[in-house]
Chain A
Amino acid sequence: MKRSGTLRLLSDLSAFGGAARLRELVAGDSAVRVRGSPDGRHLLLLRPPGAVAPQLLVASRGPGAELERAWPAGQPSPLDAFFLPWPARPALVLVWESGLAEVWGAGVGPGWRPLQSTELCPGGGARVVAVAALRGRLVWCEERQARAEGPSGSPAAAFSHCVCVRTLEPSGEASTSLGRTHVLLHHCPAFGLLASCRQLFLVPTATTWPGVAHVLLIWSPGKGKVMVAAPRLGLSYSKSLNPGRGDTWDFRTLLRGLPGLLSPREPLAVHTWAPTPQGLLLLDFGGTVSLLQSHGGTRAVGTLQEAPVGPWGSAALGTFQGTLACVLGSTLELLDMGSGQLLERKVLSTDRVHLLEPPAPGMEDEEELETRGNLRLLSALGLFCVGWEAPQGVELPSAKDLVFEEACGYYQRRSLRGAQLTPEELRHSSTFRAPQALASILQGHLPPSALLTMLRTELRDYRGLEQLKAQLVAGDDEEAGWTELAEQEVARLLRTELIGDQLAQLNTVFQALPTAAWGATLRALQLQLDGNGKLRSQAPPDVWKKVLGGITAGKEPPNGILPPFELLCQCLCQLEPRWLPPFVELAQQQGGPGWGAGGPGLPLYRRALAVLGEEGTRPEALELELLLSSGRPKAVLQAVGQLVQKEQWDRALDAGLALGPSSPLLRSEIFKLLLAEFAQHRRLDAHLPLLCRLCPPELAPAELLLLLRTYLPDEVGPPTPFPEPGAEPPLTVGLLKALLEQTGAQGWLSGPVLSPYEDILWDPSTPPPTPPRDL
């Protein structure tokens, strides 16, 4: 993705004590040495010896005193100064050419004060030419003049240098301990010293004897090894050098023992060296940057658009996030370390620019966390952070966006504020830290383990979904995956309030994956089939409440979105229509007051019927079933009426008989309905016994006869002894007898007072006469 390099102002230096002097020094002299303290709070500026007015300034951000020292011209001034990486309080060490080393500390009392001073080269006569601080060690290169009378720079003095090391560690509250001096190298030429976090680089300088100016050394104290490298020749050799074990090397012996280093060669022409964690960067006069790696190999990183103009101009190199940053004069070039590609070139408004190493991890301020790993750039205008930012707008939605979008909703719900939260606001606000944290977790950063434990299941599910999406897109027909998705989603939705979005989502799920969705519902409602072929549910009432909840007035869902009950019915209707009636029946049973069956809205069977379509277009059988199983008198009557119309006498009678004794009224209504039919035609005659059973017990024979009379067809003509051929035979008394007996018998049986002759009168041995058969 196209990134854009940004320079973000971290501080305009006014946050630093002594800001004015700081600006002045930065702007004034490009040769000034700048170093940042490990915690990023302090800046050290030192004009090198030989400058007009050597000066030292230590400025600190926030509370904390600055240190400002000046040495009059003519007096020796410090050669170099370093911050010491001590956790407790800031400290720095100043080293003079004479070998004097002073440790200064701040923090205990007011301001900076000297803690200790030591002579690095006691005995005098030696001159420190370079010094570096490397992880609890002070390394310096001293010129020893014991033998050579000649001035420095003469051939005889060229190899009269030594490289020495002493450990430098904090001891106690306010002091430091310097270990013994170990000579790493003797009889060596003048070396420049550069330290990265783990390695010390000994590089040739302008005064190095040309015959050895193609060689540089890398000392890794941790490994106890020194690497001798000739980058131009592609040679590197590793030798042991562990001062703890008393190792020391004579430079001549060292080089003489290594093949290839004595053959003719040309000196390294390096404009600027820069130690980085990856190795040593070399900028040559052609503008090519090379990297000398810790294994001794050298590779070209890339070529700058501009080459340094002569040895004068200043250059600064640094790396961050796989990028090489190079400030040459007033241009900043950013190159990709992997491919050497020029990523960006910026022209700065000043050429007095210094690159600072990023603060040590773990020591940076809260506010610098987001600039972690980025380079810092100091100019008189302020302290900037060089980093990459993804350009706005063109970015595609990512997990991060989802998080912030969701976070909006999340916090909005909890917010008392009227104003709408936006993702942008959340992104840059520090009030809400959870979205930031979560976004970084989803992008692969590891959260604290306690949090990880809390989020484990969700994270696993989230990643599972990502995979699922990928599979889906890849055309993988793995149904199990989708089923699981649908089931989980339905289960989740059923736990929510099922309104708005949630309802829409439920609809989507049911449309896309009906089977799985129904399966999940089945589980959520804990539906079971009992022995009688009826459905039973053990789900808690509130689940049913959600499922059966209708549409509250004024909150009708948008078009096409069905309430849950309708949705279920529709789904069931599609998948397995025969289960719909028992389901509706069960639903009616589950309904409680205020909702479902007991509610003011439409009864459930009506809602279910509505799903089936407009009246007349519905599948009749299903409609009948629904009506019959609804248990509602009207519905049952409607169903029986329909059955009668269709002359399904059996079912009509069954429907009547199926009604329990709890609904005698409905039963008698059905009886009346059927009796009317019985009166009018003979097609029911075969079902007379059932009709008899349906006959309400309290019905007196007289009432029956009265009823019959109302339904009997009007006498059109005089009764004929024989029916006309083709015409229906009329109702006969023989047929009626059974009914009448039924009313009577029932009257007797159920009557409160039994006649003493009852058993004589009622002779069960004589069956009723068989009705005449149709011809």
Chain B
Amino acid sequence: MAFVPVIPESYSHVLAEFESLDPLLSALRLDSSRLKCTSIAVSRKWLALGSSGGGLHLIQKEGWKHRLFLSHREGAISQVACCLHDDDYVAVATSQGLVVVWELNQERRGKPEQMYVSSEHKGRRVTALCWDTAILRVFVGDHAGKVSAIKLNTSKQAKAAAAFVMFPVQTITTVDSCVVQLDYLDGRLLISSLTRSFLCDTEREKFWKIGNKERDGEYGACFFPGRCSGGQQPLIYCARPGSRMWEVNFDGEVISTHQFKKLLSLPPLPVITLRSEPQYDHTAGSSQSLSFPKLLHLSEHCVLTWTERGIYIFIPQNVQVLLWSEVKDIQDVAVCRNELFCLHLNGKVSHLSLISVERCVERLLRRGLWNLAARTCCLFQNSVIASRARKTLTADKLEHLKSQLDHGTYNDLISQLEELILKFEPLDSACSSRRSSISSHESFSILDSGIYRIISSRRGSQSDEDSCSLHSQTLSEDERFKEFTSQQEEDLPDQCCGSHGNEDNVSHAPVMFETDKNETFLPFGIPLPFRSPSPLVSLQAVKESVSSFVRKTTEKIGTLHTSPDLKVRPELRGDEQSCEEDVSSDTCPKEEDTEEEKEVTSPPPEEDRFQELKVATAEAMTKLQDPLVLFESESLRMVLQEWLSHLEKTFAMKDFSGVSDTDNSSMKLNQDVLLVNESKKGILDEDNEKEKRDSLGNEESVDKTACECVRSPRESLDDLFQICSPCAIASGLRNDLAELTTLCLELNVLNSKIKSTSGHVDHTLQQYSPEILACQFLKKYFFLLNLKRAKESIKLSYSNSPSVWDTFIEGLKEMASSNPVYMEMEKGDLPTRLKLLDDEVPFDSPLLVVYATRLYEKFGESALRSLIKFFPSILPSDIIQLCHHHPAEFLAYLDSLVKSRPEDQRSSFLESLLQPESLRLDWLLLAVSLDAPPSTSTMDDEGYPRPHSHLLSWGYSQLILHLIKLPADFITKEKMTDICRSCGFWPGYLILCLELERRREAFTNIVYLNDMSLMEGDNGWIPETVEEWKLLLHLIQSKSTRPAPQESLNGSLSDGPSPINVENVALLLAKAMGPDRAWSLLQECGLALELSEKFTRTCDILRIAEKRQRALIQSMLEKCDRFLWSQQA
């Protein structure tokens, strides 16, 4: 490992990316090429993402829950602005220039409503949106320089009147050029155009130009609020060319010009991110002369801006560069307190925090990102040493950090850390630190429990960030314990589902919180692995667990029900994440795994019913870590078999009395949820699908468990699907169970009783076929399966047992049946239902295939054809299973699917679907036998083609042609030739003959088909050698000696294509080899006499044409020659 360079300067702050929003974007399906994020805005509560498809996603920042989806039909969302003083309002501009203001009605749990649609800027490009800071008013600026204001009635006050009394759109001004940025503060609107900035007093309608010098280009300007306490007037900063900034007072007078050019010559500061190791290049760059497209006020003292190269943060009052970092291709940045949300040109969104160095290290430590933490420490050691907050980052923390590093790999790092620790001065002297002017304002205390409590010194301080939230000192010790434990639960996913959101805590933390969400007290605790928990904490934990069982189970169900509000913590879901699309960014997953597993094995015994299963599962999972087990199918099966016996035991043993306890409460909760769901109609829940399933499953459980609890479990196992979990299972365990169960299904380990010691199943012991076993297995453990994977596994492992697929679909149907969408899907015509499916069901939902099945059952083939739009969420292999009774209908789907691609991509697309290769012949056979003309019309009694029978129409001729034109091996091609021949698909037959160099055969058939057009045009098959011409002429001669061909199929020959006769072929020959050589060849064949006047005449004209071509060649030669000489000269 390379030595970590040390940043010489003492930087107090750094940009850090603690989490990736990629999973969020991909859950919103904003990462496809079809749809991407086009605009961004942020408020305290929301992250708003506008998409190219006209949708606006509102994501609750807390826990990254997707809450609302607002759709617009007027083009992509070009601008979004959240109202900062009321989270319930958001304004959106679409690419067609419409501005829509939404009231979200979140507090009343109502549906979002469009409050106002302004077409004032229709047809123009809205370039800036900005909310008033006090009243409900939105300012809109467009590319032509027009600025308008939309004033809204607060519906809260005059709900009824709102619909009728609308303030008109007020045009504020029209400036000389495109509006680059708008900002508003205390009655003043700041407008930045391409040439200059304007200040506008919106009340007195007064305007000022700021400064005298114009500029040209995108330069931004922003307000810089004054300090509340100091009574200082707000300032304005305007970007100027050459890294300059004007400082302007609130009356629009330029006070001074700040120059940042030289200051920016320092090398960029690395962004601390989990994606890669921080890099620092010492070589200072040259001074940067930049222009800043927008200025944003950030974190009280700072102004942020960006270029295509990086992000720059200034403390303009001190003419100081706080930092600059390389972050490429930023399109827009939204800022909320110290958080930055950067929209990149490619539609990706990254979430950065401006954070002090020690806080950053602290957070990395808390997450156990030892390597990154160590690197950051070393990199910023000057800052760390200088830092006053070394009480936070104490020497023993660094020691602990050092001890966590692997000695083998991080030798250098460790020695660097050691040096750093040595440099730590005594604590006292550290108090007199050289920190910059905006050091954070916290103090901290250490509780007995070992919790570091960070206390804000000042109310309203904005220099803090999310999970390091501030704790009021008024919290009682008791409550702290509660929070600690709940936090612990959160951090240890295997103990509970790890899904306690804020709302959970609210319920048992009876402290009155201050209503300002800004000050929300989040549970805070550091799982300090370097300190043993204090006895008090341990005691509390035991107490908690003892009393928790009933509460927990009920709560669990409750939690699962309220899943839309569940907090997804990607960093705790490393395992699952890595099964999903992206690699987990954990640098040492191994260690984490084992840690988690330890936790699994050691919860207090009396609470957990799954103790044994848990142990077995953990054991099995550990074994699966061993590649020698995982990749040795025998041993893998053994492990699964072993584990399955535990699973069977657990769920067979289960009496449902335990569950019935919870039934009432769950019922109640569930009803609530349903109500909530209904009231939130139209709100897309795009949470992690697993949880969605859980919630669905639990909704199901209302009726299900109600009736099931009176059944004997055995009975239920045989006939009924176990759709939902009979009791709560912690999510960590659930994930493992899902994986193992699905693996069992995939590997055909369906019954623990079958001992496959010698590698094959002893069928004499077992009456049931694997097929029946699989169906039973599916029913029994449906609730445990990873549905998507199970679907794939069934297609792979039970491809010849349609009953397994059907059973699986039955299960999904049961699961979906209580879903309102499913009910709704039972009504309406196909387009309506498709629309519903399109809108309401996420494409990656495992239930999608059920909806597709329902559509197919109802509408048949036409439904299949329309399912192509769900490719690749629904694959052809799904469709094969879907219509395995009617393969013909599959072909209709395939045909449509292929045709849905652009012409030039069809072949390669079809080829990519053809796995395994043998499908080529299967599909070809199917295609030539369906919708085909009768064989009597394609061939005569001797099997020769009937004249013109290649012109008959075939339902799937395009598909057939695609199939036969795909490259394949010789045997396949020959088989294809035979298929085409035997069914009389002559166009395909000819193509194949010529491809396989069976030209004689091809020409024979062409003569039979008696259509000159086959030999003409660019795609015509024309003889290529003299021998072939002779052959063709002889074939025609012998044909003419046979009895006259039957009448063509389409009535008289004169209407049809021109026939193949000596004359026509002779003409073709004359064209191909010139009239004179043609003539001699015809004489040689004894055909010269049969030729007419027309032939001679045509030859004459051909001669003329050829001569003319030669003349053209001459003149082109001359030009070419001249050109080439001029090139040489």
Tell me how many residue pairs across A and B have CB atoms closer than 8 Å: 276
Known pairs A299-B968, A410-B1118. 5 more at Cβ < 8 A?
A: A235-B796, A300-B917, A396-B1024, A435-B1120, A437-B1124
Tell me the B239-297 residues at the A interface (CB within 8 Å).
273-277
Q: Collect the chain A residues with CB atoms within 8 Å of residue B768's CB.
A: none
Contact with A along B1000-1015 (1 / 0, CB 8 A): 0000000000001000
A51 within 8 A of B: no
B1084 within 8 A of A: no
B578 within 8 A of A: yes
A108 within 8 A of B: no
5 A–B contacts, CB within 8 A, in A order: A146-B408, A247-B582, A451-B1119, A473-B1068, A485-B1101
Interface range on chain B (Cβ under 8 Å from partner)? 35 or more
Q: Collect the chain B residues with CB atoms within 8 Å of residue A409's CB.
A: 1114
Q: Collect the chain A residues with CB atoms within 8 Å of residue B1101's CB.
A: 472, 482, 485, 512-513
Tell me the A223-255 residues at the B interface (CB within 8 Å).
233-236, 239-241, 245-253, 255
Contact with A along B47-83 (1 / 0, CB 8 A): 0000000000000000000000000000000000000
Given contacts A159-B628, A297-B915, A461-B1112, contact A403 B1117 (CB under 8 A): yes
Q: CB distance A406 to B1113 under 8 Å?
A: yes
Task: From A1, A259, A442, name the one whose CB has the most chain B CB atoms within 10 angstroms.
Answer: A259
Q: CB distance B1112 to A246 under 8 Å?
A: no
Q: CB distance B1098 to A473 under 8 Å?
A: yes
- Select B578's contact among A1, A253, A397, beta carbons within 8 Å: A253
Closest to B406 in A: A146
Interface range on chain A (Cβ under 8 Å from partner)? 35 or more
Chain B min CB distance to A208 (Å):
10
- Select A492's contact among B585, B1012, B1111, beta carbons within 8 Å: B1111
Chain A min CB distance to B278 (Å):
12
A688–B1070 Cα distance when bound, in Å, is: 67
Chain B min CB distance to A96 (Å):
21
Q: Collect the chain A residues with CB atoms within 8 Å of residue B164's CB.
A: none
Task: From A247, A257, A473, name the one whose CB has the most chain B CB atoms within 10 angstroms.
Answer: A473
Given contacts A209-B631, A259-B789, contact A295 B1115 (CB under 8 A): no
Q: CB distance A470 to B1072 under 8 Å?
A: no
Task: From B1016, B1109, B1110, name the one whose CB has the most chain A CB atoms within 10 angstroms.
Answer: B1109
B460 within 8 A of A: no
Chain B min CB distance to A264 (Å):
4
- Select B1109's contact among A260, A262, A462, beta carbons within 8 Å: A462
Closest to A509 in B: B1104
Closest to B1027 in A: A394
Q: CB distance A300 to B972 under 8 Å?
A: yes
A318–B296 Cα distance when bound, in Å, is: 58
Q: CB distance A489 to B1104 under 8 Å?
A: yes
A656–B1064 Cα distance when bound, in Å, is: 60
- Select A339's contact among B968, B1068, B1121, beta carbons within 8 Å: B968
Contact with B along A448-490 (1 / 0, CB 8 A): 0011001100110110011011101111000000100110110
B922 within 8 A of A: no
Given contacts A209-B627, A406-B1117, A468-B1105, contact A299 B917 (CB under 8 A): yes
Given contacts A397-B1074, A474-B1012, A486-B1104, contact A402 B1110 (CB under 8 A): yes
Q: CB distance A337 to B967 under 8 Å?
A: yes
A192 within 8 A of B: no
Tell me the A475-528 residues at the B interface (CB within 8 Å).
475, 482, 485-486, 488-489, 492, 501, 505, 508-509, 511-513
Q: Collect the chain B residues with CB atoms within 8 Å of residue A233's CB.
A: 796
Q: Collect the chain A residues with CB atoms within 8 Å of residue B1016's CB.
A: 470, 473-474
A407–B969 Cα distance when bound, in Å, is: 43
Task: From A251, A458, A468, A508, name the one whose CB has the most chain B CB atoms within 10 angstroms.
Answer: A458
- Select B1100's contact among A155, A250, A437, A512, beta carbons within 8 Å: A512
Given contacts A187-B627, A209-B627, contact A295 B911 (CB under 8 A): yes
B886 within 8 A of A: no
A2–B631 Cα distance when bound, in Å, is: 50
B908 within 8 A of A: yes
Q: CB distance B1072 to A262 under 8 Å?
A: no
A513–B636 Cα distance when bound, in Å, is: 87
Tell me the A316-354 residues at the B interface (CB within 8 Å).
337-342
Contact with A along B1079-1122 (1 / 0, CB 8 A): 00000000000000000011011111111111111111111110
Closest to B576 in A: A257
Q: CB distance B1113 to A470 under 8 Å?
A: no
Given contacts A262-B631, A394-B1025, contact A407 B747 (CB under 8 A): no
Q: CB distance A454 to B1119 under 8 Å?
A: yes
Closest to B590 in A: A250
Q: CB distance A293 to B911 under 8 Å?
A: yes
Chain A min CB distance to B817 (Å):
26
Q: CB distance A396 to B1113 under 8 Å?
A: no
A301 within 8 A of B: yes
Closest to B582 in A: A240
Q: CB distance A303 to B969 under 8 Å?
A: yes
Q: CB distance A465 to B1105 under 8 Å?
A: yes
A296 within 8 A of B: yes
Q: Collect the chain B residues with CB atoms within 8 Å of residue A264's CB.
A: 633
A298 within 8 A of B: yes
Closest to A433 in B: B1124
Contact with A along B95-125 (1 / 0, CB 8 A): 0000000000000000000000000000000
Q: CB distance B1109 to A263 under 8 Å?
A: no
B719 within 8 A of A: no
Q: CB distance A434 to B914 under 8 Å?
A: no
- Select A123's contact among B408, B632, B917, B970, beta carbons within 8 Å: B408
Q: Collect the chain A residues with CB atoms within 8 Å of residue B916's CB.
A: 234, 298
Chain A min CB distance to B1116 (Å):
5
A50 within 8 A of B: no
Given contacts A263-B747, A474-B1016, A508-B1103, contact A342 B970 (CB under 8 A): yes
B833 within 8 A of A: no
A302 within 8 A of B: yes
Given contacts A406-B1110, A473-B1067, contact A299 B969 (CB under 8 A): yes
A256 within 8 A of B: yes
A541 within 8 A of B: no
Q: CB distance A248 to B1120 under 8 Å?
A: no
A122 within 8 A of B: yes
Closest to B1108 in A: A489
A158 within 8 A of B: yes
Chain A min CB distance to B794 (Å):
9
A396–B1070 Cα distance when bound, in Å, is: 11
A664 within 8 A of B: no
- Select A297's contact among B627, B911, B1117, beta carbons within 8 Å: B911
B625 within 8 A of A: yes
